[in-house]
Structure 1
Amino acid sequence: MIEDLSHRLVEKVPASEIDADILALPYSIEGLISFNFWQEGFYWVCHKDQCPKKVQGITSEALEIDKLMLLKEGHFLKGHAIAAYRLQPSHKKQDTDVDSASPHTLIQMVAGKLGTTLLPQIALEPLTLNESELRAIHVNEPGPHRTIVLIIRLNYVRTNELTLLKDIFTKQLTNKYS
Structure 2
Amino acid sequence: MITIKQIGYALKVAANLHFRKAADECFVTPSTLSNAITEMEKQLGFQVFERDNRKVMVTNLGADFIKKAQLIKLQLEDIKKISELQSEPLSHRLSVGIIPTISPFFIPMVLPKLTIEYPKLKLQLEEAQSEVLINRVKAGDLDMAILALPYDLKGMIAFKFWEEDFFWVSKANDKRSKVGKIKARDLKTSELILLEDGNCLKDHVLAACEISESFQHSFRASTLTTVIQLVKGGMGTTVIPKMAISQLLNSDPELTSSRLNEKGPHREIAIVIRPNYTGRKDVEVLLSLFSRQLMTL
TM-score by length of 1: 0.92
- Residues matched between the structures, number: 173
The match for 2:69 is none
3-state SS of paired residue (1:162): helix
* Paired residues of 1:51 and 1:135 also in contact (CA < 8 A): no
Q: Runs of 5+ in structure 1 lacking a partner?
A: none
Contact 1:40 1:146 in 2 (8 A): yes
Distance 1:53 1:166, change over 3 A: closer
CA RMSD of the aligned region, Å?
A: 1.4
Question: Identical aligned pairs, as a percentage?
Answer: 36
Worse overlay, 123-132 or 133-142: 123-132
Alignment of 1:38-117 (within 5 A): 38-52=162-176, 54-88=178-212, 90=214, 97-117=218-238
Pairwise CA distance, 1:88? 3.0
For 1:8 and 1:43, the matched residues in 2 are separated by 27
For 1:33 and 1:150, locate their aligned partners in 2 and report how far apart those are by CA, in whole Å.
8
Counterpart-to-counterpart distance in 1, 2:177 and 2:196: 30
User: Would the aligned equivalents of 1:45 and 1:118 in 2 still touch at CA under 8 Å?
Assistant: yes
Residues 81, 33 of structure 1: CA spacing in aligned structure 2 closer, same or farther, 3 A cutoff?
A: same
User: Structure 1 residues 104, 115: closer, same or farther in 2, change over 3 A?
Assistant: same
Give the stretch that moved more between structures: 101-110 or 128-137: 128-137
Judge which range, 35-44 or 61-70, deviates more. Answer: 61-70
Q: What residue number does 2:145 align with?
A: 21
TM value normalised by structure 2 = 0.56
Aligned mate of 1:127, from 220, 223, 248? 248
The offset of 1:102, in angstroms, is 0.9
Aligned residue number for residue 151 of structure 1: 272
- Contact map agreement 1:66 1:91 (CA 8 A) in 2: no
Aligned mates of 1:101, 1:159 — CA distance in 2: 34
What secondary structure does 1:2 align onto? strand
**TM-superposed deviation, 1:32:** 1.0
Q: State how far apart, in whole Å, the 2-side matches of 1:166 and 1:86 are.
A: 31
For the structure 1 residues 31 and 47, does the alpha-carbon distance in structure 2 shift closer, same or farther, using more than 3 Å as the test?
Answer: same
Matched residue of 1:39: which SS? Answer: strand
Larger radius of gyration: 2
- Which protein, 1 or 2, shows the higher relative CO under an 8 Å CA cutoff with sep ≥ 6? 1
Contact residue 176 and residue 182 of structure 2 kept, 8 A: no
- Point out where structure 2 has 5 or more consecutive residues left out of the alignment: 1-124
User: 1:20-75: per-residue Cα shift (whole Å, max 9, x none)?
Assistant: 00000111113112110000000000011224252111111111211111111111
Written as runs of structure 1 = structure 2, the 5 A alignment for 1:1-12 is 1-12=125-136
Q: Once the 2 structures are TM-superposed, how far is the Cα of residue 134 of structure 1 from its aligned partner? A: 0.3
Q: What is the identity, as a one-letter code, of the residue corresponding to 2:227? A: L
